[in-house]
Amino acid sequence: MGNPILVVVAGEARPFRKKVASWTARDGRFGTHAYDDKQYSSWKDQARYAAAKAMGERPPLACAIDFKVKVFFQIPESLSNRKKELARRGLLRPTVTPDYDNLAKACADSLTGIVIRDDKFIVQATIEKWYADRPRVEMEVREAELRDLVEPSLALEG
């Protein structure tokens, strides 16, 4: 297992979000078209740029991946000074939207094809939400530690 790959995206995180537009043609045909929300699309481009810089010339990983994401939200101005200090120390955590699953999808999608070949290779993931004076998203990718969960003693004998 090599060193972890760290990708840092400055600014507020933008969760995965699709928009759907309906259309109707003059001849009676109709349908829908799904597309990425503009803010999410812009954040994803910024994340892909940061990922490309972190990877350099290395090819995307195509093995079992351990994926860690830390999302740092701006400390709200509306908090009291006491609560702001608690937030800085990690004793007050954000329990606000976006949901963890939308953040995880946005992060995994932004690394696909650059850091990891496909997000199907992620076998373990951790998502943490924190407050900070400098909002950002930190993504750490490393090869997952593999172990025999069925018969660990047999793996040592062989």
What is the domain-level CATH number for residue 18? 3.30.1330.70
Residue 40 near residue 106 (C-beta atoms within 8 A) = yes
Query: How many domains would you assign to the chain?
Result: 1
Residue 40's pLDDT is what? 81
* Residue found by looking up tokens 């093995």 in the block: 63
Percent of the chain predicted with pLDDT > 90: 62
Distance CA 56, CA 75 (A): 33
- Report residue 58 as tokens: 């290395």
* Residue 21 β-bridge partners: 33
- Non-local (6+) Cβ contacts of 82 within 8 A are none
Confidence check: pLDDT of 50 > 60: yes
Which helix (H) or strand (E) is 38 found in, with range? helix 38-55
Q: Which domain holds residue 48?
A: 5-157
Computed over every residue of the chain, the mean pLDDT equals 87
CB 64 within 8 A of CB 146: yes
Q: What is the pLDDT of residue 96?
A: 87
Mean pLDDT over 94-106 rounds to: 89
| pLDDT reading at 26 higher than 60 | yes
Which residue has better confidence, 138 or 22?
Answer: 138
Global pTM value = 0.79
Residue of 123 and 40 predicted with greater confidence: 123
